[in-house]
Structure 1
Amino acid sequence: MTRTALVAGLAWQDYRADWRLSACAVLALVAVIAPLLVLFGLKFGLVSSLTERLERDPTVREIIPLGGGRFSAAFIAGLGQREDVAFALPRTRQIAATADLSASAQGPVVNVEMLPTADGDPLLGNLPAPAGLAAMLLSQTAAEKLGVRAGDWLQVSFGRQVAGRLESRQTQIQVQAVLPLEAFERDALFAPLGLLEAAEDYRDGRGVPVLGWVGEPAGTAAQRVYPGFRLYARGLTDVEPLRRYFVERNLLVATQAQAIAQVQSLSRNLAIVFWVIATLALGGAFAAIFAGALAAVERKRRELSVLRLLGLGTAALLLFVVLQALYSGLLAALLSGVLYSLAEWGLNRLFVQAAGEYASHLLLPHYLLALFTVLVVCALAAALGGWRVARIEASEGIRDV
């Protein structure tokens, strides 16, 4: 048996023999560690749930241009190439981006707004974007009013007024999928940009050859100017830089930057509060362990002198004291983890209603960090408090024999 193993065994046997004082040391540490775990669990769980809620909602990352802009397709395509942009697509005039939907001649007619979409649209989630002008995605509210589902065909009508006369054109489009209510809550259809451009051209009196609608010759794609766009930042932290990017170019946009900043500010403030409390609590624990080590050296002076008489040096005696503090720290950390788990279960049962969210939550790395911190504090405090073993002489053990 190595000397280290021998010292560890002796320290454990003495720790067990003096179980009343050992239990007091463990409970004193639990009184510090368990509340800190609950406090950090509340901080991490609350901020994580709020952040995940924002990340799950694509509209939080949306950048909405305000006022009538004049954007070229090349400019919007350039926005889509930025690393902080997840999705960018031109948008036609809002007054022209409407359509009347009906499932049959006798069925109800629902007026919906049209939104351009393509691959990568955050609102679509895992649903594929419609391909071609004969496919679309429908919002759940519109599908419920029309009584249709994925795979059904709808008649889409576009109306206009020319010289006081009301005119309209129709086309048949298949419902490729129905978006869930949380993705979009208004009556809308999501279609390729080409369909919205066709509706705008028709209402402007231009022809749409692809649908067989006659009119004035349409301009080229390079000549088309869009009044707005649909743009989504790649992450929450990209919203504010994008807002500043547009402000620097005198483009007024609406964002959810304030809501994101509030969550980030809450995270910072809670972190400051936690670390202030943790510093004070760990400082108190350090002082308690330090005083306990001093008292233990004085109380076990005879036993330690006997160990020195048997050949153990100052380092081994100091290890004896430190190991007992580590035993207390390890047991306290395990007991605190159990108590926190019970508190976490109770808090989440009381305060959480949405699935996947937490009022209090810790990950395995948090437990390991807490254990490491406790053991380091215990070892340092015991080592500083146990330095008095260096003054213990072997002769003290001989005199007491």
Structure 2
Amino acid sequence: MSGTAAIETAPLFREEEHEGERKINRLRLAGIFAFFLNEMFIYHALGAVDAVFHARALTVCAAWMGFAAAVWWSVNRRGFYHRSVKYAVSAADALFLFWLLAVADGPSSPVAPAFYVLIAFSALRYSRKATFACAVFSAAAFLGLQYEALLRRPDLALPAYAVGIHLLSMLLMGAAAGYVVSQLQALVGRAVSTLMARLRAEDALSRYVSRQVASHILAGEKELWLAGSRREVAVLMSDIRGFTPLSEKMDPEALVSLLNRYFKVMIEIVFKHDGMLDKFVGDEIMVVFGAPLDQPDAETRAIRCAAEMQKALEGFNAGQRAAGGPELGIGIAVHSGPVVAGNVGSETRMDYTVMGDTVNMTQRMQARAAAGKVLVSEAAKSRAVGDFSYTELEPFQVKGRQEPVKAFELVF
């Protein structure tokens, strides 16, 4: 797991470790209660054990249950947890199981495999070290049972090879369970790293396009964002009329605040229509429809966006009047045609943009749009689908064009 992934997943695994301890506490209480019921059944129903053994077994169960209840109350109810708790509790469980088996048949008891259950439960802590530590505690307790049996009850001791197999199996089980836990952590770490990288990329893309479009790009058409390509697009440009004299009269702080509030309103509308925010040039906004993703209705979206921007500005100006602030007027132009779209810049800084005569033409049309007006080129008008009304304008000359340009004023 990379350092970044480890940092990002550390809080997650700490919480899961705590939650795992809560689960183990519940399982511990259930397991001890099962031991208790089994002991009551074999004593009262089957008469398979004598009263002395029964009393000793109940004493161990009661002590273990008291310990389990105290841990449950502290961790589950009070929420206390320290990372050392898992080691202390694992050691205590191994000791209690040692005590229970010591009053029974030692290492040959049919309950001896419960050590393996302790190791399996320990995996719920999502800690490779804690899982292997539990295996070591269990192996040590089992070895202690064998030693106790050899000293006091040799008939209950297991052959040396059987003890060796049990010890090796416990340690291998702990190592295997720990390996599975570490692999799970690595898998989660990679998933979190991928998710965080995607979210960061989506956040970066959302400066240009809506979150929905950003998700679409990252989902399967990322090459369209990264590579240059020739595309048919609709370009929208808007500009605040009389901005230069306005900026000379206002304090810089007030001017920036005004622009930010204005841009916020406009950008929300742009993203609503799935436009790509290409750039700000001072108070000018350039928006592209049809890149980086294809939009068959790019012209329709652009014209609707332009109309809504003008209408929204009326509400914005109403607020300005109420606050005694300056009102704004914007001219907008919409044109469509071929462009070259792609990332432009250096390895340290790149911007996705569109270039070409279509962009230049839109800018020149926008310069002729009066405040409160939307000019639409003949190309954009012919491709747009919708119930739009226009007023045809007299053809006008623009720089770089020999033939006069035909345009229409949108009526909204």
TM-score higher than 0.5:
no
Query: Greater CA radius of gyration, 1 or 2?
Result: 2
Name which structure has the greater RCO, CA cutoff 8 Å, separation 6+.
1
Higher helix share: 2
